[in-house]
Structure 1
Amino acid sequence: MGNLYAAALGAAVNLPDLGLEMLGCVKEEHRKQADEWVQAGLFRASVAMISSRIYIQVRVEAGDDVCTVTIRDKHTQVEEIKLNEEILCWNKIAEDALEAEGEVVPFSGPHIHDYSFQDILTYAETVPVEEMLFMRSAYEMNLELFHLGLSSKRTTFAPSLYQQNGCEVISDNDRATAQLLCNGAIEARVIGLEKPAMSIAGSGAHGIICTMPLYAVQQVRQYSEETLLRATAISYLVTQYIKEYSGRLSAFCGCGIASGTAMACAMAWMRGASFEQIVLVVNNMASGITGMICDGGNQGCTMKGIVAVDAAFRAVEFALLHVGVDARHGINGVTPEETFRQMGLIASPGMEATEKTIVEIMENKK
């Protein structure tokens, strides 16, 4: 049903140049128009395939004319526009090769995988802080979303987390504060409150988990803003590192697993962990939560976020005591890079059958 209303609202607002920000222009008349169209059965949606890649095809019929638009790999990347079988726009991105000067050059994978985990940490530790100031906006945006959720009568988890934090936004308990800030913002996001979240890897919830627990730790432990920004760089980069293996869409919870692991690494770094201890954090997170499924963006994301934040704190606390799951066990690799890759492989292709089952269960609920 959400896909139907998203399509109907897009048609009602009709400002394509705004991309995904078009929904920020929705007014009451647009909502009424979209609801009328959906209730009249003018919009239909079906599953095209099970894949970790984004694929959307829209078919619009008007009189004798039929227009189809194909989107692939990114939510705003239009690959083809066709009117009555005539191709009006073709923007094919080669899947397995890049063409350069008439030659086919094999695609070796995402550029971020050219770097090691140590490279990421070194970069975050040494890049001039002036180059990271833009990340302040992530905290400003996500905190606004959190406060909207905390004051809303529609949220249920946020008030409970607030009570668990002693009825304070920032208490002297970094874990309870992190749970409140992070998952209060996630709940506001998934129930559709009208404030944006700063996304990473195409997801607002990913971006919230990457940042809000770190802000909680920084506030409670009174670390400097520079420490927070450098930790945020680690969190964002490790998230992207894992997501390039797992794919943008998969049956595992990228918010909890990819961003949760990245945030845990960043939190450990903030608390003075050595490289070896941060690797233990990676192993602890990989062993602990990699199997968490994704069943769509919904209120359940809040509960998954709660689990991920708790797992992150535990993974860090164990690692700071030099306690962690050994590399020889389970899906852990000899190196953190190998562990990240194997976490991604669990998602894609590993959980494709799981994704099919999840979709079937959700379709049967209609």
Structure 2
Amino acid sequence: MKYSVKEILHLEVSPALGCTEPVAIALATAAAASVIPDKRPDKIEVWVDPNIYKNGLAVIIPGTGGLNGLDTAAALGALYGDPALGLEVLEPLDEESAKEACKYKDKNPVTVNLLENRHGIYVRALLTFGSDHVETTIEGVHDNIISLTLNGEPVKDSTLVKKQQAQKADVSKLEDFIKTLSLDDLVDMINDLDEQDFTFLKEGITYNMRLADYGLKHGSGLAVGATFEKLARMKILNRDMILAARTITSAASDARMGGIKLPAMSSGGSGNHGLTAILPIYAVSEFVDCSEKTMLEAIALSHLVTAYVKAQTGRLSAVCGCSVAAGAGATAGITYLMGGTPPQMAGAITNLTEDLAGIICDGAKCGCALKLATAAGTAVQAALFAIHGVNVHSTDGIIGSSPEQTMQNIGTLSTQGMIDTDRTILKIMLEKHFAGTEKLKRP
């Protein structure tokens, strides 16, 4: 089955409020709670795969005034989430309802169970209402609800399940399809963009720049972006396109990881990927002579390359996808923006891969802003180097003889070579948090 650029953008790019891992948990419990809407559950139990656990462990949940925790996300979803909103399930939330959710946790069991040998995105939520039990399962994609049952029987006419099962089938087929493409194919696809697509791409800039502006103004999270801006004002750093890309991308991550209740336009199932895929290109467009149309085409290419790499690595892995997936997308887009050729885009991707391939993913948290700053700046640098004839050789390390082979090697590294690394990262995180407030049960 073939997919158009419009279909790929529709499946891979969407608004998401908050880190998508705790959001997936909130979506699962919200879906279960919607089956018996006039009651609060007596007990909430959740089972998750290691990467959902790792990525959702420390990140702040938007609209809560600074709360984090997978059990908190589970309670918030069950009590106040709207499952019809998908990855924006926590939009109805405010700080008062967050306080109520904390009171609920004090009186009712909310447990998070780690399925240590489970691979791929997986969330199962079981809500108990007296003698009734409602169960939801999400698998493969953060908002893919594959089942919803009441007392062991499928909930009839569940539009949530039907809608998400159809989307999951499309995403799975899309990943198979996009793996067959070349970089040249991806570049060719942007010729099919229409006005509706350009409007959608502009919405992505609006979403993500809103986060960046907030982060710069308020110094959210680690205030990485605000600090870059301060250093530029002090003339300690020069205002160039690399600094501009690093500043707005990290500022947006500061706001998002700091729990600000503003959605990001995600890419490949991740809000931070979306920030990295879009904002460096937007920043560079202010420094080069290009039309808005060219900038939007560059962003579309960035999303396509990001989707290609994510199809190789999987949705979650031990490797920082913002660096190697969205970073690859961004550098390809920046090269296109500067008038570069497909061979130069290939060189930019290999340059970035050689630079950033070893960056680990140790969960979502405020410190992600530092990694996004690195990815954004390196995306610009890799593009500039490629355009000026500096290209990593195929004999170097994991670099392949083509950009496609290089991105496939990243997939192999992520899915095979760093399995033990991922376990070690999670082990270190568990040692820090096992005795904390989260109620974690080992199977």
Name the residue aligned to 1:230.
297
Q: Deviations over 1:186-224 (max 9, x none)?
A: 111111111111111111110111111111111122421
- The 3 A distance-change label for structure 1 pair 243 and 260 is same
Instruction: State how far apart, in whole Å, the 2-side matches of 1:166 and 1:23 are.
Output: 37
Check if 1:319 corresponds to 2:386: yes
Deviates more, 1:206-215 or 1:355-364: 355-364
Tell me by how many angstroms 1:354 deviates.
1.4
Note if contact 1:142-1:185 (Cα within 8 Å) is conserved in structure 2: yes
Note if contact 1:264-1:313 (Cα within 8 Å) is conserved in structure 2: yes
Secondary structure in 2 matching 1:364: helix
- The 3 A distance-change label for structure 1 pair 128 and 26 is closer
Check if 1:132 corresponds to 2:198: yes
Name the residue aligned to 2:350.
283
Secondary structure in 1 matching 2:123: strand
Q: Deviations over 1:266-312 (max 9, x none)?
A: 11121122222221112111211111111111012111112112222
Q: How many residues matched?
A: 354
Tell me by how many angstroms 1:19 deviates.
2.5
- The 3 A distance-change label for structure 1 pair 139 and 54 is same
Q: How does 1:200-219 map to 2 (within 5 A)?
A: 200-219=267-286
Check if 1:75 corresponds to 2:142: yes
Instruction: State how far apart, in whole Å, the 2-side matches of 1:343 and 1:18 are.
Output: 33
Secondary structure in 1 matching 2:264: coil
Name the residue aligned to 1:221.
288
Tell me by how many angstroms 1:342 deviates.
1.2
Q: Deviations over 1:152-191 (max 9, x none)?
A: 25442122111233379xx951111111111100111111
User: Partner letter of residue 269 of structure 2?
Assistant: G
Name the residue aligned to 1:103.
none
Check if 1:110 corresponds to 2:176: yes
State the TM-score, normalizing by the size of structure 2: 0.74
Note if contact 1:81-1:88 (Cα within 8 Å) is conserved in structure 2: yes
Instruction: State how far apart, in whole Å, the 1-side matches of 2:225 and 2:211 are.
Output: 12
Name the residue aligned to 2:51.
none
Note if contact 1:165-1:180 (Cα within 8 Å) is conserved in structure 2: no
Note if contact 2:81-2:90 (Cα within 8 Å) is conserved in structure 1: no
Tell me by how many angstroms 1:241 deviates.
0.4
Instruction: State how far apart, in whole Å, the 2-side matches of 1:26 and 1:126 are.
Output: 39
- The 3 A distance-change label for structure 1 pair 337 and 153 is closer
Secondary structure in 2 matching 1:46: strand
Gaps of 5+ in 1: 99-105
User: Partner letter of residue 56 of structure 1?
Assistant: V
Name the residue aligned to 2:28.
none
Deviates more, 1:48-57 or 1:343-352: 48-57
Q: How does 1:48-59 map to 2 (within 5 A)?
A: 48-50=115-117, 53-59=120-126
The answer to which structure, 1 or 2, has the higher relative contact order (CA under 8 A, 6+ apart) is 2
- The 3 A distance-change label for structure 1 pair 241 and 50 is farther
Deviates more, 1:212-221 or 1:127-136: 127-136
Name the residue aligned to 2:323.
256
Name the residue aligned to 1:37.
104
- The 3 A distance-change label for structure 1 pair 153 and 255 is closer
Note if contact 2:245-2:377 (Cα within 8 Å) is conserved in structure 1: no
Tell me by how many angstroms 1:43 deviates.
0.9
Name the residue aligned to 1:102.
none
Deviates more, 1:106-115 or 1:239-248: 106-115
Q: Deviations over 1:36-71 (max 9, x none)?
A: 123446211121135552100112223333332211
Instruction: State how far apart, in whole Å, the 2-side matches of 1:64 and 1:41 are.
Output: 16
Instruction: State how far apart, in whole Å, the 2-side matches of 1:340 and 1:26 are.
Output: 39
Q: Give the % identical residues.
A: 31
Name the residue aligned to 1:309.
376
Note if contact 1:50-1:356 (Cα within 8 Å) is conserved in structure 2: no
Root-mean-square deviation over aligned CA pairs: 2.6
